[in-house]
């Protein structure tokens, strides 16, 4: 998007392929979710929290395959790994072919999940380890 507003500000266009910085991986996006925060940012409702630099790419829940590993990334991550993430919403999102994301913000996609069935709420667990229905009462969970 190049400015705040309604759905008409979204543009389908070519964008440069990001380069992973130190501690980041480049992920080929297979699926990206649309969440309420996306339209709130697009409409400008979050500007008092953060004014985004334009142009800006929305979308912060995604699954994909690591294409490239930046310097300083743990050897556990390599090209070809299938991952999912909910990265920092202050950076460009996943409504694109590729996203550069901090290695600390990705999880391995469980083998029993497809790229298209991974859901954000899997990250949320109650203190007793049960799935949560109210995110404010939950904390991060590890992938299984």
Confidence (pTM): 0.77
Q: Which of 114, 110, 87 is nearest to 98 (CA)?
A: 87
pLDDT digit string, tens, across residues 120-143: 444 444 444 444 444 444 444 433
pLDDT digit string, tens, across residues 84-120: 999 998 999 999 999 999 999 999 988 777 676 644 4
pLDDT digit string, tens, across residues 37-93: 899 999 999 999 888 999 999 998 999 999 999 999 999 999 999 999 999 989 999
DSSP 72-122: T--TT--TT-EEEE---TTS--SSSSEEEEEGGGEEEPPTTS-TTT--GGG
């Amino acid at each position: 998007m190049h400015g705040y507003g309604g759905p008409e500000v979204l543009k389908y266009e070519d964008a440069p392929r990001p380069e992973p910085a130190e501690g980041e991986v480049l992920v080929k996006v297979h699926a990206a979710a649309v969440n309420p925060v996306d339209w709130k940012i697009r409409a400008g409702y979050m500007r008092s929290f953060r004014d985004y630099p334009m142009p800006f790419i929305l979308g912060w829940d995604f699954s994909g395959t690591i294409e490239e590993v930046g310097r300083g990334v743990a050897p556990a991550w390599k090209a070809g790994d299938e991952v999912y993430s909910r990265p920092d919403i202050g950076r460009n999102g996943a409504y694109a072919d590729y996203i550069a994301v901090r290695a600390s913000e990705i999880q391995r996609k469980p083998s029993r999940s497809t790229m298209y069935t991974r859901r954000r709420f899997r990250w949320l667990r109650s203190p007793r380890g049960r799935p949560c229905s109210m995110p404010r009462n939950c904390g991060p969970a590890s992938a299984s």
